[in-house]
Amino acid sequence: MAHASDGRSLEFKLPDLGEGLTEAEIVRWLVEVGDVVAVDQPVVEVETAKAMVEVPCPYGGVVTARFGEEGTELPVGAPLITVAVGDAAADVPARGPGTSAATGTAESPVAEAPAAERKAEGSGNVLVGYGTSEAPARRRRVRADRQAATGASGRANGRVRGAEPVDGPVPVISPLVRRLARQHDLDLRELTGSGPDGLILRADVEYALRAAAAQGGRAAAQEAGTGRARDAASPAFPASSPGSADARPDGTRVPLKGVRGAVADKLSRSRREIPDATCWVDADATELMRARTAMNASGGPRISLVALLARICTAALARFPELNATVDTEAREIVRLDRVHLGFAAQTDRGLVVPVVRDAHARDAESLTAEFARLTEAARAGRLTPGELTGGTFTLNNYGVFGVDGSTPIINHPEAAMLGVGRIVPKPWVHEGELAVRQVVQLSLTFDHRVCDGGTAGGFLRYVADCVEQPAVLLRTL
């Protein structure tokens, strides 16, 4: 911890929220300038592409500045607040009743704690599963000469306009930004970022790519990174300006950000990388519904239908482990996974999310029911942690709740397969040689054709259908 005699202010930056999350939007400040905060006290509520998260501060002292108004989107590594600790805290008057608090500015004096002390001061409790005791090794400081060049080059349309490419580390935090540039053969050294300290953001790369499309080649993309205003007359979607409003298509523009942006990015990547195929089958779910009714009539916690379907999924994956896998494209290897972390699609007011039930293969129907209920409630309240939204190996998509029979869903990258379940409705069905009205459901399996062929996918889906039609089949694996 920092000693009281140090008498300095420490800057707390937006921490790495994990799993590729590179920015967050300030939803609500929980402290004001002048407030006294304790170690690990939540200071701000932010919304990431995954969830709403309260971020605790690893320092104790008096808040001397806040960075960003509510609604502002900040990249990982951007300052959140500064906290006066030690003797410095004694010199800052604590905010009392009736005292107004203004958002702090960057002029507040901030002393960077030595690396060793920062490591000791970190509480390790910023988010569940993500600590603050050490800064990630991939973080780099932007060189002073690059900052000077950035400051001298000025801004155009609110974005930094670069001068000359600079040798040394490229100021990029997000692996998504690096991958996007690599996929389009764009040299990041030719860009000057519009983020704090020249940080290159996804928007900077996308701007350069749009400029390249308008000019018809890679050279234009590199030139657009250092002189964006040059091609403002002919990009595919011109930047906003008072004189160009009429050139935009009519209609309401909704920013692709937050959950919607994350879903768009992930589904687009899945479509680009995964050669998927879908097979489907109708199944008579009458016996499964009867079995569930009998379970719930016997007393004890009620068993949900999705829990029974999940149990069928894990039994099928044990027989067809090829589908509980991922593809390592760089190593050109299929990685078959030993544990089943089952994701399930959940529609919320914030959009589509996929919570993950850990070790689903080791859970019985009661445990699965309880975990589905807990995660669904947390999803609707926006309280899911990044760890509860990532790491899935297979997804169960019950789109029947929307009143539809079938679908060809997009695989949840980097998984290899997804089971879809339609609505269960009474239909004419030949049962034991006679026409009868039965409870029928359509099942679909979308799978990555790189990990298996149609025979394996068909075998998996047929086994699932057999278990739905005859739940006693599951007794062989219990």
Catalytic residue IDs: 449, 453
Give the phi and the psi of residue 322 in degrees, each rounded to 5: -60, -25
Give the list of residues 6+ apart from residue 325 with CB closer than 8 angstroms, or none. Answer: 334, 335, 336, 337, 393, 416, 448, 451
Among 74, 25, 70, residue whose Cα is nearest residue 52: 25
Among 143, 118, 130, residue whose Cα is nearest residue 12: 118
Q: Is 101 helix (H, G, I), strand (E, B) or coil?
A: coil
Contact status, residue 92 vs residue 32, Cβ threshold 8 Å: no
CA angle 154-249-156, nearest 5°?
Answer: 0
Of the chain, the end-to-end C-alpha distance in Å amounts to 52
Q: Which letter does DSSP use for residue 127 in this model?
A: B
Among 107, 102, 126, residue whose Cα is nearest residue 44: 126
Among 45, 28, 61, 68, residue whose Cα is nearest residue 195: 68
* Structure tokens belonging to residue 376: 């669904």
Give the list of residues 6+ apart from residue 336 with CB closer than 8 angstroms, or none. Answer: 321, 322, 324, 325
* Structure tokens belonging to residue 452: 């298996």
Place of tokens 């921490």: 15
Q: Which letter does DSSP use for residue 376 in this model?
A: H
Contact status, residue 345 vs residue 415, Cβ threshold 8 Å: no
* Structure tokens belonging to residue 256: 């692709």
* Structure tokens belonging to residue 217: 């080649």
Among 308, 304, 418, 404, residue whose Cα is nearest residue 354: 418
CA dist 415 and 270 (Å) reads 9
Preceding omega of 414 cis (within 30 degrees of 0): yes
Distances (CA, A) of 57 to 62, 124, 140, 379: 11, 10, 22, 24
Burial 161-195 (b: 16+ CB within 10 A, else e): bbbebbeeebbbbbebbeebbeeeebebbbbbbbb
Among 427, 421, 459, residue whose Cα is nearest residue 440: 427
Among 87, 65, 62, residue whose Cα is nearest residue 13: 65
Q: Which residues pair with 351 in a beta bridge?
A: 348
